[in-house]
Amino acid sequence: MSDLSKIRGLAFDLDGTLTDTAPGLSSALDLALQAQGLPPAGQTLISTWIGNGADILVERALTWAGAAPEPVLCRETRVLFDQFYAQTVEQGSRLFPQVKDTLSRLAARGLPMAVVTNKPTPFVAPLLASLGIDSYFSLIIGGDDVAAKKPHPAPIYLVLGKLGLYVEELLFVGDSRNDIMAAKAAGCPCVGMTYGYNYGEAIETSHPDYVLDRFADLLPILGWSSSDNQEA
């Protein structure tokens, strides 16, 4: 396992790591499919498509529905998805257990924290605010803020530059192989959470430095005590 004694900052994926956003995403995508005369896919299946950004999400849905994902159809469906997601994003999202309390404990240690997500940038800050965790993050990197999304390391390089950290000083926390691949490509130590989406795969298969079942378990691996009285 990687030595975390040098950690001076943390970066987190959003969907599947901090927040369970599958209900809102799946509702918006199903509405977009139906508006195009296509069948809805349902949350269980859509959850396995989350993680590469909205364009890939739409492309996967169209392919599943038997519609050739031609550029024009993809663009039209993406526009519909964005319109519907603006309506479903907040009520269709919730924090995973222990997230808010653990973020508060990390912030109390003075560690700068960032969100690094492939989600379209305009949705990210309002979502964090609606869930009451926006104040914990000094930096937000959305899918529109970099030329290459995860699993490319570009978003993590941007975090390192903005926070003034070396690679060994940033711990990246995610739930999917894209997160782990991006962290490894950048040279950062990484944590894989088992409760996320990850295309239906076990996060262990991506070989993160640490595999955790609970968000609060971040505290012990950083050398700090964790209370059993974490929020539900």
Q: Which residues are catalytic?
A: 13
CA atoms within 13 A of residue 203's CA, in its CB half-sphere: 24
Question: β-strand 94-95 against 19-20: which pairing, if any?
Answer: antiparallel
CA 166 from centre of chain: 22
Can you give the three-state secondary structure of the chain, one letter per residue?
CCCCCCCCEEEECCECCCEECHHHHHHHHHHHHHHCCCCCCCHHHHHHHCCCCHHHHHHHHHHHCCCCCCHHHHHHHHHHHHHHHHHHCCCCCEECCCHHHHHHHHHHCCCCEEEECCCCHHHHHHHHHHCCCHHHCCEEECCCCCCCCCCCCHHHHHHHHHHCCCHHHEEEEECCHHHHHHHHHHCCCEEEECCCCHHHCCHHHHCCCEEECCHHHHHHHCCCCCCCCCCC
